[in-house]
Structure 1
Amino acid sequence: MPLVTTKEMFKKAYEGKYAIGAFNVNNMEIIQGITDAAKEEQSPVILQVSAGARKYAKHIYLIKLVEAALADSDDLPICLHLDHGDSYELCKDCIDGGFTSVMIDGSKYPFEENIALTKKVVDYAHNRGVVVEAELGKLAGIEDAVNVDVRDATFTDPDQAVEFVERTGVDSLAVAIGTSHGAYKFKGTPYLDFERLEKISNMLPDYPLVLHGASTVMPEFVKKCNEFGGQIPGAQGVPEDMLFRAGKMGVCKINIDTDLRLAMTASIREQLINDPSNFDPRKYLGPARTAIKGMVQHKMRDVLNCSHKI
């Protein structure tokens, strides 16, 4: 089965009131863990590549790894998505290079400039059968090249969201309602502005919304990292019940990156501390791949509610 876009995925997700997981990939083990989980859960999946991952692993390597995942996954619907593309040129390169979905992130620009940039990418992508995600509002936090101070973060304005979608023709919209990038999402009690989300969803009926910065920062992985020599004090993510609720309110795509990093790192730390003589990458990356698979299965079953939705 070839790569697909998110159009049919999101249509089914919106009607079924669930969300598709968009998992960031950087190497073979991460891709294998995610796609093996999706196969077992019979869930559609979005593999997304940040600019940082593309620089680290190289475009051609990631494409070939995803092609291998397709060949190994029968009829599993897989979309390959560019996460946080920061320029028209980067989006164009990914569209021309085989991606079926791209995100143009013009949220750092003034409203009109964001519209103009997004519309330019949309026109190029749609002529080539590729879908586009954009962002309105700014999420705080740090992830790869994205670095927004909490003082500069702004929630998405519902009226602007409607105008933005109408003027750009963008296929999905990432909204800012309180999530943030990285492992330190909340200093106090977690809060998402569901009233704002409901308003945006009602004003954009049948339209797929996206949540970025939506890792739970699962406590068991944080604890294990710290237990085996890590230093991740006070890490806190988005509670899973909040993500489940968002999936019933028009959010069709939920981004997960930090939980992947924590699952992998916790496993590798445990393997190397428990067996200091271990210098075989297969013997510590193998268990890390298994940890990723288990975590992704949990997300698909219990949080995103997208299991058995193929």
Structure 2
Amino acid sequence: SLHTMYKLFLSAVEYLPFSSGDVSKACFEEIIERVLSRSREIKPHQYNEDFSDVAEQHHLQALQKAMIIQWLCFTPPSSIPDFEMITGKLLIRALIHSNTLFREFSLISMRRVPELPVGPHKLLAILAEPLKQKENLFSLEDQEVSDNLEEFEDWHEYYSLDATYRGWLRCEMENSSVPPEMLSAEEKDQAVAAATQTLELAFLLLEREERPWLNAVETSPFESSELVFLELHATAILCLPSGECMTPDATSCTALTSALYSTISEEDVLHRQLKVEVKVSSKDPCCIEVALRCLATEGDGFGLHEANDG
């Protein structure tokens, strides 16, 4: 429960040093990092025999990942040394980890269903109150802070748009269950209005000029005298347009591999030395593991982390 979490948080932050240069001694910061890291590990699942609960299981897993942020959003007791510094550091870490989760959730929340993705909206809810105090906790002139705040605000806007889209989708699905001649003019107008609002908000987000969505603050030059390869490893679920999850097999893995190769020209495949591997996950039979590898080149976001462009 939240109360139990808070009691554990208080005990740790009161009796352990916040950070330590001695690796043999425990500190609060190290414990938190381990908790955050383990929360993103893929855990084996026990599904129903017909795999009807796959989506629900992953829905709950996203919620659990989001709830971990709560550890960073508790307010330490004001009696501890460096109270404001510790509170600020925890909030910055919450922002950084939240942005990592937002990126992950954006990929797993693309199912065409009217239900809101629970993970990102839980994150937004948990961070809403702590971020009201951000001006008092850290310097907004700090590059890392400002970059992560801007990215957080971008994701906030994205998921607000996502909620609008799913509202329109719900309207369309409800209307599709009724014969067209039975729909009232009001119901038709409501669907059109919802679609128009979704499109307008999407264009506003994508065409924003003052600060393009998820755009790097500055570019990191790519300079390397040696060949450098980029690798991406991802775990995913295959879904039908209805949102129903598919159980992967060798055929679907081969089809997806071919589809990924076909997204770029044969010339680029050879030039970038692209390698694609898709297989059924050894940890979760309802998931696939995708591995992509290619030669790095300018524009890939490879370089210093300062620009947050990776």
Q: TM-score, normalised by structure 1?
A: 0.26
Greater share of helix: 2
Structure with larger RCO (C-alpha < 8 A, sep 6+): 1
Greater share of strand: 1
Q: TM-score, normalised by structure 2?
A: 0.26
